[in-house]
Structure 1
């Protein structure tokens, strides 16, 4: 799991405060500076910082107002915000915490306190990111799970609607997997799924091409900006790569080793059309692959997808 360098956005209308905080925190991550609330909102949206340190008293809009706007946007509402304040009122601190601030640091700055509190919240943010990533990964195979697939499909479907580029969606099933489990045991079956997930992932060379654990012995492959010929090549390579693992399967009537069947549809989505229909079409092509002998790929190109009723 890749660990990213944290970004800290410091927002204060006083240049001296920005400099002090920059010097105190520059070893903890990338520092971005803003001198007012408007700049803070622009930079928060563009940079998606890990943590924001923000003064409460600023001329154009105060820190409370900026925090409220941050919380109104899906892109910035999860960013941790610490207030910088010279105010001593408990009411002000209470207000900030109720609006969603995670902590306060007080002026004049005490170097060790600032560093310790910022360090704590950066670590908490790192742990939150790790938990979010784990929640999107399949526990057995460590590839993205069905929850993440649904998000990716929505994104790529919208991209295809906007650009007019084709989208390939493929369903993958391990041939006679129940018989494999019965013969070799579930622990061996789990190992097969892990190995298949790894080798399928290795066949997908472009960053947006991804394989997901759909459930049981089924996987789903998403190939954005891919027409029929390209999809056929990639998916046939996936089939051959699994067969080349040479995992013994005495109970298979297709091959003496573990194989997969794949069904896919190539679609050019338009506004108002349903991604669920495309998944159903891919599933129907998977059924065709199974019915016609397994260990093969069947693809259907769909010029149109039925609109959502």
Structure 2
């Protein structure tokens, strides 16, 4: 995918069919209603009335921007902001403080916590709209750059950089929720022989086709397939036990075989893949590296057993 294609797709995703998502955090319903009136026509507006709910919402479905009160019972707005900025999954969400306090110490505390701006109460609707619009524009531009940095240039699916970040996010979530996390490592069988026989241009076409097939097999919201090596792809499959992960792996294997790409040195004279799967309910002792290593061991077992198969551990 070319840079212009990615920029165009980001533009389409960000136009009027996809309204910006704002989270308003305030313990006073009257303040929430005031901000809802300002933004509800052009934005999706969500609300949280305490810091704990705000953090949970951002971790579950990150909004495009947070409008955050400072003084709240329990967890203060400053603590919420610090917690969001400390989590890589939520660190890039712009936070604008909405405060009735107007003093230098309060301003410094807002900046130190990681805010991008602050607005004083009672709010001026025009000023509030303009500031939010400006920060949403900056975030959208940053998202475009992040997309460019996270996409594999040849296959147009996530690259290893995005995989590594998502892997850490999903590992923490599965540890917190005590649910399975599965990883599938996929390798194209005898790919070096394919390149040697048909040339690197045909090899690139093969990689593109296999990548898109694997990507289409990621049908649940949390699933991700990435190109993590030359002819290696890795999938993150949250919430799947060994049996469920095997089903996805076998679906990938069958879909690649169905491409029917000729390979004179391949299994059945066509391109096939071997898949190794690791699945655990991770405790705090489990690392991303250890789970990937488990899947790698299963991939080695699949190759040792004759390739074009799935092994699960």
Query: What is the rounded CA distance, in whole Å, between the counterparts of 2:223 and 2:257 in structure 1?
Result: 21
- Tell me if 1:257 matches 2:257: no
Report the CA distance shift for 1:284/1:89 in structure 2 as closer, same or farther (over 3 A): closer
Please say which of residues 117-126 and 133-142 is displaced more in the overlay.
Answer: 133-142
1:266-285 correspondence runs (5 A): 272-273=285-286, 276-285=289-298
Deviations 1:54-100 (A, max 9, x none): 567x6979xxx632542145356544233456777677656644543
Report the CA distance shift for 1:281/1:227 in structure 2 as closer, same or farther (over 3 A): closer
Report the CA distance shift for 1:157/1:283 in structure 2 as closer, same or farther (over 3 A): farther
- Equivalent residue for 2:139? 125
Tell me, what secondary structure is at the counterpart of 1:262?
strand
| Unmatched tracts of structure 1, length 5 or more | 302-309
TM-score by length of 2: 0.70
TM-score by length of 1: 0.70
Residue 216 (structure 1) aligned to one of 222, 230, 240: 230
- Equivalent residue for 2:251? 237
| Unmatched tracts of structure 2, length 5 or more | 1-9
Which structure has the larger Rg over C-alpha atoms? Answer: 1
- Equivalent residue for 2:156? 142
- Equivalent residue for 1:22? 36
Cα distance, 1:152 vs structure 2? 4.9
Residue 225 (structure 1) aligned to one of 240, 260, 263: 240
Tell me, what secondary structure is at the counterpart of 2:259?
coil
1:84-233 correspondence runs (5 A): 84=98, 93=107, 96-105=110-119, 110-154=124-168, 155-156=170-171, 159=174, 163=178, 168-223=182-237, 224-228=239-243, 231-233=245-247
Aligned pair count reads: 289
Contact residue 81 and residue 115 of structure 2 kept, 8 A: no
